[in-house]
């Protein structure tokens, strides 16, 4: 029995070793702030370098809002292009029924990187016809943080290569600037996207979306690299693995004892 306890101790103690060198990104998630109001007077610049306020984009249509960053090597492009494609396939009229807005959470992004990301996303989505109704914004730290706070978007620096861990999803904002509902994750269907836009258009404050632990994350701590981190799930799986191994060992030792 002592041997089993020792083996179990080694298994459990071994689990945090890899995680100790990783940054703490467990709180880089969406806190869904339904009913919160966007800071409409914060100033940003669009992909052409033109200054604007968020309120300038609220012209009677709801916003499909995505936060991320334009040099992201992982899920940001996938999220934006996927949402643009879902909006294009939803049967709704861009500009009249919705406006797509991307905001970079990286103050180092510029109108150049914003323009490049827009061109890339529209090409990937096969939706060049939506160019005039998609806006890629950059701004200063205070402006970015005020929007992130308003929609409950938490992010954390991930490593020395200036990658950023952050949640993945879209926020739908009413024409009056109020957060209506969220779609979390990636790969949205046109029908659910249309429903999210319709709810925002009517000013409906929806129930919270089902939580999802998908993060856009890139980490390298001695050649190991996590491209998509699902932190809590990995921890649960780690614990479950320990339990399964321990149970199997216990069963094996008991069976060996009974055979003897």
Per-residue pLDDT in tens (0 to 9) along the chain, 260 residues: 444 434 333 333 334 434 444 444 445 577 899 999 999 999 999 999 999 999 999 989 999 999 999 988 778 899 999 999 999 999 999 999 999 999 999 999 999 999 999 999 999 999 999 999 999 999 999 999 999 999 999 887 765 557 778 888 999 999 999 999 999 988 899 999 999 999 999 999 998 887 654 444 443 333 334 344 444 444 444 454 555 565 555 555 565 555 55
Predicted pLDDT at 255: 59
Predicted pLDDT at 257: 59
Indicate if the alpha-carbon torsion angle 253, 255, 258, 260 is positive or negative.
negative
Going along 121-178, which residue ranges are E strands? 134-137, 156-157, 164-167, 169-173
Distance CA 146, CA 135 (A): 18
Predicted pLDDT at 246: 57
Predicted pLDDT at 260: 56
Distance CA 10, CA 258 (A): 26
Give 119's contacts (C-beta < 8 A, 6+ positions apart): none
Predicted pLDDT at 248: 55
- Contact between 31 and 149 under an 8 Å Cβ cutoff? The reply is no
pTM passes above 0.95: no
Q: Indicate the domain borders of the chain.
A: 2-21+227-259, 43-220
Predicted pLDDT at 8: 38
Predicted pLDDT at 157: 72
CATH superfamily for 43-220 is Glutaredoxin (3.40.30.10)
Predicted pLDDT at 229: 42
């Amino acid at each position: 029995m002592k041997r089993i306890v020792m083996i179990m101790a080694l298994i459990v103690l071994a689990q945090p070793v890899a995680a100790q060198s990783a940054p703490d990104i467990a709180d880089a998630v969406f806190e869904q702030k339904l009913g919160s109001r966007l800071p409409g007077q914060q100033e940003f610049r669009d992909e052409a370098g033109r200054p604007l306020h968020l309120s300038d984009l609220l012209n009677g249509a709801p916003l499909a809002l995505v936060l991320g960053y334009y040099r992201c090597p992982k899920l940001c492009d996938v999220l934006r292009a996927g949402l643009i494609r879902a909006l294009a396939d939803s049967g709704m009229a861009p500009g009249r029924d919705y406006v797509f807005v991307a905001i970079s959470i990286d103050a180092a992004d510029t109108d150049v990187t914003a323009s490049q990301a827009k061109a890339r996303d529209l090409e990937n989505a096969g939706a060049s016809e939506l160019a005039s109704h998609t806006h890629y914004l950059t701004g200063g730290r205070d402006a970015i943080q005020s929007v992130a706070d308003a929609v409950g978007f938490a992010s954390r620096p991930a490593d020395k290569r200036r990658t950023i861990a952050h949640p993945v999803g879209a926020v739908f904002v009413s024409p009056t600037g109020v957060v209506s509902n969220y779609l979390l994750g990636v790969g949205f269907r046109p029908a659910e996207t249309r429903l999210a836009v319709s709810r925002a258009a009517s000013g409906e404050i929806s129930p919270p979306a089902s939580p999802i632990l998908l993060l856009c994350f890139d980490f390298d701590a001695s050649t190991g690299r996590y491209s998509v981190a699902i932190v809590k799930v990995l921890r649960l799986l780690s614990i479950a693995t320990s339990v399964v191994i321990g149970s199997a060992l216990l069963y094996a030792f008991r069976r060996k004892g009974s055979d003897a």
